[in-house]
Copies of this chain bind each other. A is one copy, B any other.
Amino acid sequence: MRQENDQEFGKEQLVKKSDDFAKWYTDVILKSEMADYAPVKGCQVIRPYGYAIWEMVQKALDDIIKKAGVKNAYFPLFIPEKSLQKEKEHVEGFSPELAIVTIGGGGELEEKLVVRPTSETIIYEMYSKWIKSWRDLPVLINQWANVVRWEKRTRLFLRTTEFLWQEGHTVHEKDKEAKAEVDRALAGYAKIYQEYFAIDGVWGRKSETEKFPGAVSTFTYEMLMPDGKALQGCTSHDLGQNFAKPFNISFLGKDGASHFPFQTCWGFSTRSIGALIMAHGDDNGLILPPQLAPIQVIIIPVLQKKDSAKAVEEKTWDIKNDLKAFRVEIDSRKEYSIGWKFNEWELKGVPLRIEIGPKELENKEATLVRRDNGETSKIKLSKLNSEVKKLLDTIQKDLFEKSKNYLKENTKEALSYNEFKKIMENEKGFVKMFWCESAVCETKIKEETKATTRCLPRDAKKENGRCVYCGKPANYKWLFAQAY
């Protein structure tokens, strides 16, 4: 996607989501002021309206992380090149994406510094120093940070050179404890996606090809976007002892002998906001679930008639005060028309609009309009608070139900490779099919259909099947899709 720094975005009609999904996505982000392109290629600015969403995600996720006993810390941005090279698969996986500092304080550096693409290597150097005994375990640490991965093709939120995330890094005495933590982390992410983002997804294990470089296994929450493509929502990795050994993290056990511990890491990034935009938006712009809406209710006074304008405007303040348990704003700007305001707040995806004019004032009521489905209702002012609460809860629930249905309706099973190819050429979506788990078939399928293995769903049952590609025995139906 090219940068469109010079393009102006006024209030003209958005392109339809169904006509040009990619353009709609970019336009809606720029017009709603969620984000903007930065002067450096591939970097973005997260503007206040977008960042407010990220702050709410952070708060909700941070609470979950802290409740699990994990504590926040901060590790450096710069990693010495030699640290990164300690784990072979890891450095091979990240090398093509690195940004490297070679000049510091006016001179060439003796050792080049890598701008962290992820922090395993720097964190595990410290763990190697800090961990001595079983008394030091478990180590449960998380950090909120920026990371940099050089990307050729970038897209706002979904794939940017720099992005924001949290990365948890834990160390355990026993493999069983590490595996429980991998699960715990992913359960937290799934909860965030379901209860805040209102996006249903599939929880499963990545294939050997698709797993994190250096991990024993990688778990994911895969979501389906409206164009039938998959988006990986987050990952949680079982690292086993793969990093402990090269980084020499060892502890004196209760048995008096030295052992390598078991490690996990897990991350959730601003990419999630891309999913939020795509999953719920429509031709009129964003649709934000109430849990993540910076503004949950916009009050728009109808001020056309001069003799009632003052009373109407005053009433909006009463209403805002009555609704102080919610995130409410009033738009009483005189320089914009009512119609312009409706479009503006629809574009910004505010879940609920309250209109109040002379007629409503007289009847002691207000007009409520839902952003998600346009449903309008007249509500007595005396019941406004409870009705707003009920409506916001309903909108949150309805958006998730819609997402669940969409996922269900667009997850198919393919019994043959031909059937699969037809689906990938037409409606796309998630497809479950037998695969023998060989990387050869996986690569061929990717080359021929652009579809990749997304995961082995957690609820997949062991069966006696045959790989749709090579016909060899296959035990599980894996989830395939084209992906972002």
Binding site for B on A (CB under 8 A): 5, 36, 38-40, 43-48, 51-52, 54-55, 71-80, 83, 95-106, 112-113, 115, 122, 125-126, 129-130, 135, 141, 145-146, 148, 150-152, 161-162, 164, 335
Contact = CB atoms under 8 A, between A and B. Distances in A.
Dominant SS among interface residues on chain A: mixed
Contacts of A5: 129
Contact of A39 (B105, B122, B161): B122
B80 A40 contact: yes
Nearest to A6: B129
Contacts of A52: 71-72
A116 to B, nearest CB: 10
A252 to B, nearest CB: 13
Contact of A76 (B38, B75, B96): B38
Contacts of A76: 38, 40, 43-45, 162
Contacts of A135: 335
A115 B102 CA distance: 11
Copy number in the complex reads: 2
A115 B106 CA distance: 13
A43 B43 CA distance: 25
A390 to B, nearest CB: 28
Contact of A103 (B48, B102, B141, B162): B102
A73 B95 contact: no
A269 to B, nearest CB: 12
Contacts of A126: 36, 38, 45
B40 A78 contact: yes
Contacts of A79: 39-40
